[in-house]
Structure formats: structure tokens, C-alpha cells
Amino acid sequence: MSRSAQSRLAEVWTRSPNLVGRKIGDEFVLVPLVSHGADLDSILNLSRVAAFVWERLDGASSGGEVVDAVLEHFEVERDRAEQDYLELVETLVELDAVKRAPKRA
Amino acid sequence: MSRAAGPARASLARLASALAFHQVMLADAHRTRAFARALARRVRPGKDVLDLGSGSGVWAVLAARLGARRVVAVEREAVLVPVIQALAREAGVADRIEVVRADARHVRLRRTFDLVVGELVGNEGFEEGLVPVFARARELFLREGGALVPEAVALVAAPARPPRRLGLTPPLLPAHSVAALTAHVPYNLHPSELRTLAPGRELLRVDLRRARSQDALPVARARFRVKDAKAVGGIAVWVRMRLGPGIELETRTRTHWLPTFLPLDPLPRGPGRLDVEIDWNTARRRWSVDFSGARGERRSAVYTPLFAWGVVRAALARGRRRRR
């Protein structure tokens, strides 16, 4: 793994209060709470693994710890889990759905 | 002949639907008495009255019977225009009523009025465009010192038991998939089904004498205390209208309007406090509840029809992919 990926996995993210997630049946839906008419295209559907990750973006767990939790719960290779985690966080950052948490002391 | 049959059938369907709708309203004695009292209070001989969304024309005709000099009834349904005209003739006031076929939101008129009446209040209060229609009418058509009926509309809420009819009765099929979606969608209850668990509290009030057409409804908050949160199935919301000085009409019971029920997930047994927040604007409708139990339990949840939309949209996308 590259040094850049390693440092990104050390980062801690927290969910934005401007989005709410809900599991309905097999779907996990993420909805932005907007102050004007809702943009229906900005609603996100997360896969089971992505929903699992979303719920762990709690401002306390680092990317590496979240990936460890994914490996405990799902049958997936570490490289693949790390890559998927970083891609998901990148998407969530673009959507302003997560914020970087302050560094732990 | 065959070319005319289609439009004629469509008009017949519209007429039947419109008449059925207005029959229900006209049979609502509670509503009719309240509006009639408000008009009796406001209409004076020689005054000019504008009736927006006139429907069957009952308020336009009553205003003329109360002595209004000139009444303009605005109705967008072409099939209702002759209905209003016939009612005016029957009441002997046809010479003082002008029926204008137009949408109340965009109608253009050359005159101004002393009173604007418009029963553009839906089950949910504002979904028929009451605020923008009245704001525009106030600006363009209402004379200085003129009056509005209604002059204010409020939403009232209270925690309520779940309706007994929820689900398929008798159970015919497992319906969890449907129930999971409907848990995020407001629906109407018959007033007889509504069993509230705390006194109603006013969530928000729009003063139509001041509201601007572009104003969004503010996010409303209210706090309720319940003896047993387990009994709470949702938050019931209904409408309170101020039709004139001392004349209020509430849609909680005895009217043709239906309260709206916002379902909630089950809460723990025992007493507690519910902090409710509701965004009633249609395009971003959501409600959330923070529950604090007397024994320290806490629950928080947010609900919006957008969750149901997310589930259905994903299923539609899967269906499209399979067809390719």
C-alpha cells in the first residue's frame, strides 16, 4: 500500500448532521436534509458494506479501524476493503456528507 | 361524433368528480356554519367580494345574498362555471355575480375588493397554494383596510395511537415490505380513528394578512409529555383556521377534512418526553422525534418520504439493468 493510502487510512471521519441514513428492508438510503426543495438525485443508496462503514464514521474510529471491522464482518480481502473504503470516503467528501474529525491526542 | 366523445367523456368525469368533492364539502355543516358566520361578519351592503377557487360558488352567492354590491367568483374548472351561475340565478343574485374561469394563482382582474374569501385549505393546510394565492390577491386585489377569510391558518399536532386499520385486515398476506415504506409516508386518518395521547399544540401559524408568497413554512418544533410512549404510533397533525374575529375552525373532528398521521417507530414503555421537529414544506417533508424516557431511555429517528423514494428508485434501476 502506498504511503498516501496509509496516511488516508489514519484519518478519522465523522458523519455530517446534514444527512440521515435509514435501513429499509435490504436497502440503506442516505438523504440530505436540505433547506430548499429536495434534489432527488442527491439521495444515495449504499451497499451493505458501505452502510456498515457509514455507521462507523463516528468521529472516533480511524479508517484502518473501520477497515478492520469490515474484515471481521464480511468476507473480503484487506486490499479490496481498503480501496473500497477510501473510494467511499472520497465520494462522501465530495457530497459534503462527512467531515474530518479533529486529530486524536 | 367519435372525435367529440373523448373530450365529452373527460368532461363528464371531471364534472362527476368535482360535484362529488363539493357535495362532501357542502354536507359539512360544521365548516359551512363557520364560513357563513365569517362572511356574515365581514360582508356589508355595498362591498365588493372576490371568491378565489369558488368551487360550487356557495361563498360567492352567500356574499351576494348578504348584500355585496359585486362578487367575482374565480374557478378554474370549466365544468363548475355553469354550476356557479345556476346557483346564483336560483338565489336571485345572478346580476351581481361575475364568474371568471381562471386559476386563482394567476388570475388577472381589473378591479379591487373589500373582501377576499378562498377556501383553499387542504387536509395538510397549505398544499392547495393558500399562502401564495392569498399573498398575491392581497397585493393586487385587496383594498386598503380590506379583509381576508380565512385570515390565518395554523397546524396543530399531538402524539396519537396508531390507527387500528393499519395493515391488511384480516391478515391476507405478509406485508412487511409495504409497511416498511409506508412508515416514511404521511397519510390521512378519518377523525374517528384519531386517538390523541396529549393535548394538541400549535406547531406553526401563518398570518395570511402578512405572509409573503415566497415564504417557506418555518421548521416547527413542539414538546409533548406522554404517560406511556409505547402507546404512541405517530404524530397527528390537523389544521386550525381563523376565519374572522372570534371565529375559529379546527379540522380535528366534525369536518370533512382529514387529519394527517406521521408514523413513528415503536417507542419504549413508560412515561417520557417527545421533542418533535417537523418540516412541513412538501418538497422536503420530514419529521423527527427525540424521545427521553423517565428511566433514562433515549431514542431519536428521522422520517421522510425520500427514504421510501430511495428504496423504490433502487428497485427501478435494478429492473432496468435486468431488461438490458
The CATH label, of 3.40.50.150, 3.40.50.720, 3.40.50.800, 1.10.510.10, for the domain at B2-119 is 3.40.50.150
Residue A9 falls inside a structural domain: no
Residue B54 has phi, psi (to 5 degrees) of -65, -30
CATH number of the structural domain spanning residue A80? 1.10.10
**DSSP string for B171-237:** --S--HHHHHHHTTS-EE--GGG--BSS--EEEEEEETTT--TTPPPPPEEEEEEES-GGG--EEEE
Give the residue from A19, A22, A36, A48 with the most B CB atoms within 10 Å of its CB, the best one to mutate: A22
CA proximity to B277, closest of B197, B210, B201: B201
Average confidence score pLDDT of chain A: 88
Give the residue from B219, B307, B316, B321 with the most A CB atoms within 10 Å of its CB, the best one to mutate: B307
Q: Please identify every stretch of chain B with a pLDDT value under 70, giving residue numbers as ranges.
A: 1-4, 165-171
CA–CA dist A40, A29 (Å, integer): 12
Give the closest-approach CA distance of B179 to chain A in angstroms: 10
Residue A102 falls inside a structural domain: no
Which residues in A lie closer than 8 A to residue B314 (C-beta atoms)?
A: 27, 29, 45
Query: What does each C-alpha distance from B292 to A5, A71, A79, B224, B276 come to in angstroms?
Result: 42, 35, 43, 11, 11
Residue A101 falls inside a structural domain: no
**Is A17 an 8 Å CB contact of chain B?**
no
Look up the domain containing A82 and give its range: 17-96
Cβ-in-10-Å burial (0-12, 13-18, 19+) of B54 comes to buried
**Is A24 an 8 Å CB contact of chain B?**
yes
Strand B48-52, strand B113-117: pairing: parallel
B183, B286, B310 ranked by CB distance to A29: nearest: B310
Q: Are B32 and B260 contacting, i.e. CB atoms less than 8 angstroms apart? A: no
- Residue B7's contacts (CB-CB under 8 Å, 6 or more residues apart) are none
- Residue B188's contacts (CB-CB under 8 Å, 6 or more residues apart) are B123, B258, B259, B260, B261
Residue A11 falls inside a structural domain: no
Q: Are B276 and B287 contacting, i.e. CB atoms less than 8 angstroms apart? A: yes
The pLDDT assigned to B300 comes to 94
The pLDDT assigned to B167 comes to 58
Tell me the CATH number for domain B153-313: 2.70.160.11
Residue A53 falls inside a structural domain: yes
- Report the greatest alpha carbon distance in chain B: 75
Give the residue from A16, A24, A35 with the most B CB atoms within 10 Å of its CB, the best one to mutate: A24
The pLDDT assigned to B60 comes to 98
Return the SS3 of B89: helix
The pLDDT assigned to B165 comes to 59
The A residues from 28 to 47 touching B (CB cutoff 8 Å) are: 29-31, 33-38, 40, 43-45
Residue A64 falls inside a structural domain: yes
Q: In this predicted complex, what is the ipTM?
A: 0.82
Helices (H), chain B: 2-26, 29-42, 58-65, 81-90, 130-140, 176-182, 305-323
Residue A2 falls inside a structural domain: no
In chain A, the N- to C-terminal Cα span, in Å, equals 25
**Is B283 an 8 Å CB contact of chain A?**
yes
CA–CA dist A27, B46 (Å, integer): 64
Structural domain tally of chain A?
Answer: 1
Instruction: Kindly state the average pLDDT of the residues A5-22.
Output: 89
Residue A5 falls inside a structural domain: no
Tens digits of per-residue pLDDT, A15-56? 998 888 999 988 999 998 876 666 677 788 999 999 999 999
Q: Are B186 and B262 contacting, i.e. CB atoms less than 8 angstroms apart? A: yes
The pLDDT assigned to B166 comes to 53
A20, A27, A37 ranked by CB distance to B311: nearest: A27
CA–CA dist B179, B322 (Å, integer): 26
Tens digits of per-residue pLDDT, B197-256? 999 999 999 999 999 988 889 999 999 999 999 999 999 999 999 999 999 999 998 899
Query: What does each C-alpha distance from B39 to A70, B22, B104, B149, B245 come to in angstroms?
Result: 67, 19, 20, 8, 11
Query: What does each C-alpha distance from B26 to A71, A74, B80, B88 come to in angstroms?
Result: 66, 62, 14, 16
- A64, three cell numbers: 484502518
The pLDDT assigned to B279 comes to 93
A20, A44, A45 ranked by CB distance to B302: nearest: A20
Domain boundaries, chain B: 2-119, 153-313
